Each structure stands twice: as structure tokens, then as C-alpha cells.
Amino acid sequence: MGGPTGEAEWSAVDSYLEGELLGQDAALSAVARASEEAKLPPIAVSPLQGAFLHLLVRATRARRVLEVGTLGGYSTTWLARALPPSGAVVTLEIDPHHAEVARANFERAGIADRVEVRIGPAIESLEALRSEGAAPFDFVFLDADKPNNEHYLRAARALCRPGSLIVVDNVVRNGAVADPASKDASVIGSRRAVEALAETPGLLASALQTVGSKGYDGFAIALVEDPSAVA
Ligand code: SAH
Ligand code: DHB
Ligand code: MG
């Protein structure tokens, strides 16, 4: 080995690690298959990424999870299965077709009682959760439209408690996040989100670059130290 690597090696290593670490899971495979058959875009987290999120939820003993961006519910299923029976995931999705595919997936996976799908623009759903006085979330996964991530981050912080974790998907975008001249709205959104992670009081953040079957990207993670801190 040695020298530069690329997509082929990253995928081969993901296959190897998946084979060794994850084993077969009929329910999760069924969610992935149904999402593919419904022609949803192939942008769900990878199996290893889903397992990683699951481990974070388990390790932090999270009971209430908030997800922004449901798609067919693949990541949602990994998150929901990490919860105790009393736990719940609230997942926000703008596309009614995606939400319908996801709800059917949750029924088949046996987790429908633990998952609430809210249809609509996430900014509005987040405002509604706030005005309803929703109980605080212990874990948040931001994975919807990237240009709104800075707003999702601020809204999510307000729905958290001290000690909650917020994970943001797709913050590296093939390295484009480091390009201040990028004209891509998703890249600009990710750069704004990184700035918001640094500037929003009460958050302690880091980010890791990732490679694998989904190419070159990364996750940001923030610990909510104070959900209502002001600068
Ligand atoms: N978390 C999923 C993937 C989500 S893909 C998984 O890993 O399995 C991003 C999703 O965000 C898409 O389903 C898209 O319809 C949804 N989305 C895009 N803009 C949105 C918005 N403004 N509000 C809520 N959801 C949105
Ligand atoms: C895209 C969105 C995602 O959430 C992701 O994980 C990968 C790709 C996209 O919109 O291209
Ligand atoms: Mg994503």
C-alpha cells in the first residue's frame, strides 16, 4: 500500500469494515431497498455512518432524538433503534413522498411507535416544536438542505439541554468547504454552518473528514454547553 487512494479503495475498505463489524440486518436492508425502489436519491448515510450515529446515541444514553432530513428513513432507523422503549425520534421532512416512503419503512421495521415524521419546511417545524414547548432533545442530526444549516443549528440549539449533541452531515463536500470562492449554495451553506458552530455561544465543536462508500465528506459535531447562551 502507500500512495494516493481514491473512491475504489474507500469503497473496498467500507465493504470490508461493514462485513466485519455490521453483519446482516434484514430490517435495515429492507429500508434501503424500499427507498431505492421508490427512486429516492441515493444519499442516505452509509451503513457504517448509520452505525456510528447509533453508537453516539447509545453512548450518550439519549432518549429524545431530533433529525432534520428524513428521506426514506434509513438514518432514522439507525437512530430509533438506539433508543430505549420510552425514547422517541422526531424527524422533519419537506417532501411528502419521502415522508410516505419513510413511514412505510418505519412500520415494516417495527419502530413506527417511536418515530414521528413531521412534513413541511424544517424551519417551520422547528419553530412549531419551540412554540409547543417540546421537551428538550438529547441528540440532533442535521441532514437536510445545506443552505439552511446555520438556521437549523441555531434552532436546534434552543431545543437542546446542556450536554446534548448536534451532528451535522456533509460539511466537507469533496474538500470544497475549504474554498472561500465556491459558488455552490451547499458549500456556502456548509461554510456558514462551520462559522455558526464557532460563533454560536454555548457550543463546543469539532469536525472530522470522512472517506468511504459515499466518497469524501465529513461530519461536524457540537456539544451544547448552554442552549440559551448569548454572546
Ligand atoms: N437523513 C437521511 C438523508 C436525508 S437526505 C438518511 O441519511 O437516511 C435530505 C432530505 O432533506 C431529503 O429527503 C429532502 O427532501 C429533505 N429536505 C430538503 N430540504 C428540506 C427542508 N427545507 N425542510 C425539511 N426537509 C428538507
Ligand atoms: C447530498 C445530500 C446528503 O445529505 C448527503 O449525505 C449526500 C449528498 C446531496 O444533496 O447531494
Ligand atoms: Mg447527508
* CA nearest neighbour of 141 among 206, 87, 28, 222: 222
Write down the pLDDT at residue 120: 98
Contact 54, 80 (CB under 8 A): no
Write down the pLDDT at residue 231: 85
Write down the pLDDT at residue 78: 98
Q: Give the closest ligand to the alpha carbon of residue 43.
A: 2
In this predicted structure, the answer to whether residue 1 has a pLDDT above a threshold of 70 is: no
Q: Which grid cell sits at 43?
A: 444519499
Q: Which grid cell sits at 101?
A: 416512503
Write down the pLDDT at residue 42: 98
Write down the pLDDT at residue 3: 77
* CA nearest neighbour of 21 among 44, 2, 46, 58: 46
Write down the pLDDT at residue 51: 98
pLDDT tens, residue by residue, 19-72? 999 989 999 999 999 999 999 999 999 999 999 999 999 999 999 999 999 999
Give the N- to C-terminal CA distance of the chain in Å, as an integer: 49
Contact 89, 63 (CB under 8 A): no
CB-defined site of ligand 1, < 6 Å: 43-45, 69-71, 74-75, 92-95, 98, 121-122, 143-145, 148
Q: Under CATH, to which class is 7-224 assigned? A: alpha beta
For 205, phi and psi rounded to 5 degrees?
-125, 155
Q: Name the closest-CA residue to atom 2, ligand 2.
A: 43
pLDDT tens, residue by residue, 151-210? 999 999 999 999 999 999 999 999 999 999 999 999 999 999 999 999 999 999 999 999
Contact 125, 118 (CB under 8 A): yes
Write down the pLDDT at residue 4: 79
Burial-class residue 42 by CB neighbours within 10 Å (0-12, 13-18, 19+): exposed
Task: Give Cα separations from 105 to 98, 100, 218 (angstroms).
Answer: 11, 9, 27
Considering only CA atoms, give the Rg of the chain. 17
Task: Give Cα separations from 145 to 69, 72, 154 (angstroms).
Answer: 8, 15, 15
State whether the beta carbon of 170 lies less than 6 angstroms from ligand 2.
Answer: yes
Contact 105, 96 (CB under 8 A): no
Compute, in angstroms, the gap from residue 71 CA to the centroid of ligand 1.
5
Query: Where do the domains of the chain lie?
Result: 7-224
Write down the pLDDT at residue 185: 97
Q: pTM for the whole thing?
A: 0.98
The H helix count followed by the E strand count for the chain is 8, 7
Compute, in angstroms, the gap from residue 229 CA to the centroid of ligand 2.
31
Give the list of residues 6+ apart from residue 95 with CB closer than 8 angstroms, or none.
none
Compute, in angstroms, the gap from residue 127 CA to the centroid of ligand 3.
22
pLDDT tens, residue by residue, 72-127? 999 999 999 999 999 999 999 999 999 999 999 999 999 999 999 999 999 999 99
Residue type for position 159:
L
